[in-house]
Chain A
Amino acid sequence: MDYFLELLLGGLTRGSIYALIALGYTMVYGIIQLINFAHGEIYMIGAFTALIVAGVLTLLGWNQVAILVIASLVAVVYSSAYGFTVEKLAYKPLRHAPRLSALISAIGMSLFLQNYVLLAQTSDFLPFPSLIPEFKFLAPYAHIIRSSEIVILITTTAVMILLTLMIKFTRIGKAMRATAQDRDMAMLVGVDVNRVISVTFIVGSATAAIGGVLIASHIGQINFYIGFIAGIKAFVAAVLGGIGSIPGAVLGSLVLGWTESFFTGYVSSDYEDVFAFLFLVFILIFRPSGILGRSETEKV
Chain B
Amino acid sequence: MLTKRIPIAVSLIVWVSILMFMGNAFAAEPIRLGVAGPHSGDLASYGIPTTKAAELVVKDVNAKGGILGRKVELLVEDDVCKPEVATNTATKLVSLKAHVVIGHICSGATKAALGIYKDSKIIAMSPSATNPALTQSGDYPNFYRTIASDDAQARLEVDFALDTLKLKKIAVLHDKGDYGKGLAEFAKAFLEKDSRAKVVLYEGITPGAVDYSAVVQKIKRANADAVIFGGYHPEASKIVTQMRKKKMKTVFISDDGVKDDTFIKVAGKYAEGVYATGPKDVSQNPMAIAANEAHKKAYGSDPGAFFLNAYAATQALLNAIEKAGSTDYDAVAKALRTQDVETPLGKIHFDDRGDATGVGFSMYQVKNGVYVEIK
Q: Chain A contact residues (Cβ within 8 angstroms of B): what range?
A: 35 or more
Contact status A265-B214, CB under 8 Å: yes
Within 8 A of A (CB), among B20-40: none
The proximity string for A residues 84-126 relative to B, scoring 1 for CB distances below 8 Å and 0 otherwise, is 0000000000000000000000000000000000000000111
Contact status A125-B213, CB under 8 Å: no
Query: A215 near B: Cβ within 8 Å?
Result: yes
> Which residue in A125, A143, A223, A264 is a CB contact (below 8 Å) of B215?
A264
Report how far A221 CA is from B203 CA in the complex, Å.
Answer: 23
Query: B62 near A: Cβ within 8 Å?
Result: no
Query: A17 near B: Cβ within 8 Å?
Result: yes
Contact status A221-B237, CB under 8 Å: yes
Contacts of A270 in B (CB 8 A): 176, 203-204
Nearest CB on A from B350, distance (A): 38
Query: B249 near A: Cβ within 8 Å?
Result: no
The proximity string for A residues 1-40 relative to B, scoring 1 for CB distances below 8 Å and 0 otherwise, is 0010011001101100110000000000000000000000
The proximity string for A residues 148-168 relative to B, scoring 1 for CB distances below 8 Å and 0 otherwise, is 000000000000000000000
Contact status B213-A261, CB under 8 Å: yes
Contacts of A279 in B (CB 8 A): none
Interface residues of B, count at CB 8 A? 30
Report how far A146 CA is from B214 CA in the complex, Å.
Answer: 14
Contact status A13-B205, CB under 8 Å: no
Nearest CB on B from A8, distance (A): 10
Contact status B214-A13, CB under 8 Å: no
Contact status B211-A125, CB under 8 Å: no
Contacts of A13 in B (CB 8 A): 211, 213
Contacts of A229 in B (CB 8 A): 208-210
Query: B92 near A: Cβ within 8 Å?
Result: no
Contact status A219-B238, CB under 8 Å: yes
Contact status B266-A272, CB under 8 Å: no
Given contacts A125-B237, A265-B214, contact A225 B208 (CB under 8 A): yes
> Which residue in A10, A223, A230, A233 is a CB contact (below 8 Å) of B213?
A10
| Interface CB pairs A-B, < 8 A, 12 | A13-B211, A125-B262, A146-B245, A219-B242, A220-B238, A229-B209, A265-B214, A268-B203, A269-B218, A270-B176, A270-B204, A272-B206
